[in-house]
Amino acid sequence: MIIVAFRNFICFIGLLLASPIICIAAFCIFLEDGFPIFFKQQRIGKKEKPFTIYKIRTMPKNTPEVGTHIAEQEFKLKTGVFIRKTKLDELPQLINVIKGDINLVGPRPSLYNQTELRNARSVKNIFDAKPGITGLAQVLNYDMSNPLKLAEIDNIYINNQSFKMNVIILMATFFEYPKRYLRKKFIK
């Protein structure tokens, strides 16, 4: 319980510190494509329980609900490309962490319409773990375009999860060296 309270405190402080950046990103999105600024979407959580994820919107309002690897090919906002590349769009997910929907690190939550990924994750019991803002698969550049491989990497994370691994994955979200370490250690 103390660990959860500490994590939530850190996330709250992170939100406070990031609020000027979130406001600037929101203003840029508003100038380019108007409201809404934030993006809400149903995702699959632990034990396949649905939850609403929060992000800064980086794609036009008319973008269909498909995996990012599909939508990014056709639907882009100019400011959204920068916001996405710098991972600023993920900052509102700290609210999801505080609410207990997700962790900082874990398998990325998928959409309900990604049936092949859901099936692959079910076979490997990925839904027994709480999803995260970032994860091993994401920092190693595996996305939902290859559902079987993504589930395999998620499984590697779950079987090797530790505080140290989570810290390295958090660092790898922003820096290149930890990615090389993770790839060398876990991907044969």
User: What does the CA dihedral 62, 132, 130, 59 come to, rounded to 10 degrees?
Assistant: 0
Question: What is the pLDDT confidence band of residue 44, given thresholds at 50, 70 and 90?
Answer: very high
* Rg of the chain (C-alpha set): 16
pLDDT tens-digit profile of 84-122?
888 899 999 999 999 999 999 999 999 888 999 999 999
DSSP structural state of residue 106: S
Question: What is the pLDDT confidence band of residue 177, given thresholds at 50, 70 and 90?
Answer: confident
Q: What is the mean pLDDT of the chain?
A: 90
pLDDT > 70? residue 68 = no
Nearest Cα residue to 174 out of 126, 123, 122, 138? 138
Phi/psi for 133 (5° steps) reads -70, -40
Nearest Cα residue to 153 out of 187, 180, 128, 116? 187
Question: What is the pLDDT confidence band of residue 74, given thresholds at 50, 70 and 90?
Answer: low
Tell how many helices (H) and how many strands (E) occur in the chain.
Answer: 9, 4
Phi/psi for 166 (5° steps) reads -60, -40
* For residues 59-80, average pLDDT: 72
pLDDT tens-digit profile of 137-152?
999 999 888 899 999 9
pLDDT > 60? residue 38 = yes
Q: Count of alpha carbons within 13 Å of 115, Cβ hemisphere only?
A: 0
